[in-house]
């Protein structure tokens, strides 16, 4: 089969004559196919120059015709301009064009009018279609496969919001992305209006409302190996520059992955300086969900009833599981209350040996069995918090830019407790760091400082020492005495008051 491409200026008489001849051949020859590209005169020269550079051709006039040879594993074969196309049609098909010059000019004028009308209609349609542009990097990873149905179903964003998915990965993964695109379109979700595939280029992240970073590549060797860190910094500084240039200024960036999540978020924050740093976060939610699942297994309950579990520190390396404020809802026991009634988690776990030793060991092992589903659910949950708020008063973990909270070093991305309200997260500064967790928290901070200093060529002088919080940075709402009372076993009077308060809240 002969497949030709005809491209030219909308107002070119010779393009009009070549178009008429190509239409005649396609209509009368079963194995002849033509694809036409019509461009505005103002854009023609730049487009033609780029085409010739990419294909190593030499051609300067309108139209240009070439034959596609993709079915033979080769690039296109340049035929030339209108005269070359005429000679080819005469020699191979014994067909010629007898169009007069005046007719050619009239058709060229008509072509230009039609082109402008088509573009105007296309612009009107585009203005009516105002979707959320969601860009996913590393889109060939398993997490993306599981994430797409969650985004397109209308559960994360409201079901009246149209979504345009942009799947971005390196050029070697384009075949995988093509299959993913077809499956996404087969889902026939009404919210999913368009799916496009991308490799890294100057127009990456164009008009992005959300950027989801998938990075499931495990670090090699030491977490702070200088070569790995420098490569991470170089790659994500390039991505961040494109986000800064092309994305909407209110874009939100979520970094999820198994390696250097905190560092990647920091590189994006420091490079994309026109983006609000509060809109760039790293995601420890998967770790939080894994801990909840492990606790739920111990208590023989559903993990969804466990709330306010906190993950501190370096998401990809040293971190600390904090259960001091964790609560249980709908827990089957001799004491019941309405749906808003909760009980502290720690007094419900009587096996202190398991709590102190086995819980963390088992929690760390869960990461070995990740296949993308839990990561996708974590991302969807974080996005829903950003859109619809976390539940009233619920504490969630988030890797955010440290501003001195909890007397931690500034200018690192650190996982800490936050809550969402009106699309904005706020650090839960009332949370106190327990003595048994301080060493781990500051060890994580030291790791992150080292990563930052290597990545940005900074000095290693800053140390992590903290006993007294900085004045004016943290306002603790609970004294240690109050905290101790909160986690002691409740009295009957306390429980009655709690139930009555919950009933009043429901009413």
- Nearest C-alpha neighbor of 425 from the set 471, 470, 394, 380: 394
Please give the Cα distance from 182 to 175 (Å, whole number): 11
Please give the Cα distance from 507 to 504 (Å, whole number): 5
Q: How confident is the model at residue 217 (pLDDT cuts 50, 70, 90)?
A: low
Q: How confident is the model at residue 482 (pLDDT cuts 50, 70, 90)?
A: very low
Residues 6+ apart with CB under 8 A from 110: none
Please give the Cα distance from 381 to 394 (Å, whole number): 13
Q: Sign of dihedral through CA atoms 56, 58, 61, 62?
A: negative
Kindly state the tokens that stand for 401.
């830019």
Is 80 exceeded by the pLDDT of residue 342? yes
> What's the mean pLDDT when you consider all of the chain?
82
- How large a percentage of the chain has pLDDT more than 90? 37
Is 70 exceeded by the pLDDT of residue 495? no
Please give the Cα distance from 193 to 471 (Å, whole number): 51
Q: What's the mean pLDDT in 393-418?
A: 92
Of the two residues 505 and 93, the one the predictor is more confident about is: 93
Residue 236, pLDDT score: 93
CATH class of this structure's domain 287-506:
alpha beta
Interior angle at CA 393, CA 389 and CA 399, nearest 5 = 65
The residue to which tokens 């089969």 are assigned = 1
306-307/327-329 β-pairing: antiparallel
Is 80 exceeded by the pLDDT of residue 493? no
**Domain-wise residue ranges, the chain:** 2-125, 131-282, 287-506
Is 60 exceeded by the pLDDT of residue 283? yes
Query: Within its chain, how far is the Cα of 32 from the centroid?
Result: 43
Kindly state the tokens that stand for 159.
């079901």
Residue 200, pLDDT score: 87
Residue 422, pLDDT score: 80
Is 80 exceeded by the pLDDT of residue 128? no
Homologous superfamily, domain 131-282: NAD(P)-binding Rossmann-like Domain (3.40.50.720)
Element (H, E) at 15: helix 13-28
- How large a percentage of the chain has pLDDT more than 70? 84
Q: What's the mean pLDDT in 1-12?
A: 87
Are 318 and 447 within 8 A, CB to CB?
A: yes
pTM flag (> 0.85)? no
Are 167 and 136 within 8 A, CB to CB?
A: yes
The residue to which tokens 């979707």 are assigned = 131
| Domain covering 2-125, topology | Glutaredoxin (3.40.30)
């Amino acid at each position: 089969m002969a497949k030709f491409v005809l491209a030219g200026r909308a107002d070119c008489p010779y393009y009009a004559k070549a178009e008429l001849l190509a239409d005649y051949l396609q209509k009368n020859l079963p194995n002849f196919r033509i694809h036409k590209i019509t461009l505005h005169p103002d854009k023609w020269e730049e487009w033609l120059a780029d085409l010739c550079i990419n294909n190593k051709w030499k051609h300067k006039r309108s139209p240009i015709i070439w034959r596609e040879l993709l079915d033979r594993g080769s690039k296109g074969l340049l035929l030339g301009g209108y005269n070359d196309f005429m000679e080819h049609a005469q020699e191979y098909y014994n067909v010629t064009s007898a169009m007069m010059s005046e007719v050619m000019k009239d058709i060229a004028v008509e072509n230009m009018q039609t082109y402008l009308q088509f573009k105007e209609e296309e612009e009107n349609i585009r203005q009516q279609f105002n979707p959320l542009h969601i860009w996913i990097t590393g889109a060939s990873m398993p997490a993306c496969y599981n994430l797409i149905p969650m985004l397109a179903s209308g559960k994360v964003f409201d079901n009246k919001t149209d979504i345009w998915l942009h799947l971005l990965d390196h050029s070697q993964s384009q075949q995988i992305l093509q299959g993913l695109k077809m499956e996404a379109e087969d889902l026939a979700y009404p919210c999913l209006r368009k799916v496009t595939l991308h490799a890294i280029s100057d127009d990456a992240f164009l008009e992005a409302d959300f950027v989801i970073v998938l990075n499931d590549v495990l670090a090699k060797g030491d977490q702070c190996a200088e070569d790995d860190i420098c490569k991470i910094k170089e790659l994500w500084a390039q991505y961040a520059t494109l986000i800064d240039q092309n994305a909407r200024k209110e874009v939100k960036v979520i970094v999820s992955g198994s390696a250097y999540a905190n560092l990647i978020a920091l590189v994006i924050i420091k490079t994309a300086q026109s983006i609000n740093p509060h809109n760039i976060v790293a995601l420890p939610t998967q770790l939080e969900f894994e801990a909840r699942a492990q606790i739920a297994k111990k208590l023989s309950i559903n993990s969804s009833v466990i709330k306010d579990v906190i993950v501190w520190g370096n998401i990809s390396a040293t971190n600390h599981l904090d259960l001091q404020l964790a609560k249980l809802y709908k827990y089957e026991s001799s004491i019941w209350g309405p749906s808003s009634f909760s009980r502290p988690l720690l007094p419900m776990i009587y096996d202190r040996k398991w709590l102190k030793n086995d819980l963390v060991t088992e929690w760390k092992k869960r990461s070995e069995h990740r296949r993308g589903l839990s990561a996708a659910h974590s991302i969807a949950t974080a996005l829903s918090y950003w859109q619809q708020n976390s539940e009233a008063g619920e504490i969630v973990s988030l890797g955010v830019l440290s501003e001195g909270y909890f007397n931690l070093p500034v200018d690192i991305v650190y996982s800490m407790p936050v809550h969402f309200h009106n699309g904005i997260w706020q650090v839960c500064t009332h949370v106190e760091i327990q003595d048994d967790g301080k060493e781990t928290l500051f060890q994580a901070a030291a790791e992150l400082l080292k990563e930052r200093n290597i990545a940005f060529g900074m000095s290693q002088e800053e140390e992590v020492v903290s006993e007294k919080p900085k004045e004016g940075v943290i306002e603790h709402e609970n004294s240690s005495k109050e905290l101790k009372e909160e986690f002691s076993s409740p009295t009957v009077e306390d429980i009655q008051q709690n139930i009555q308060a919950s009933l009043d809240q429901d009413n």
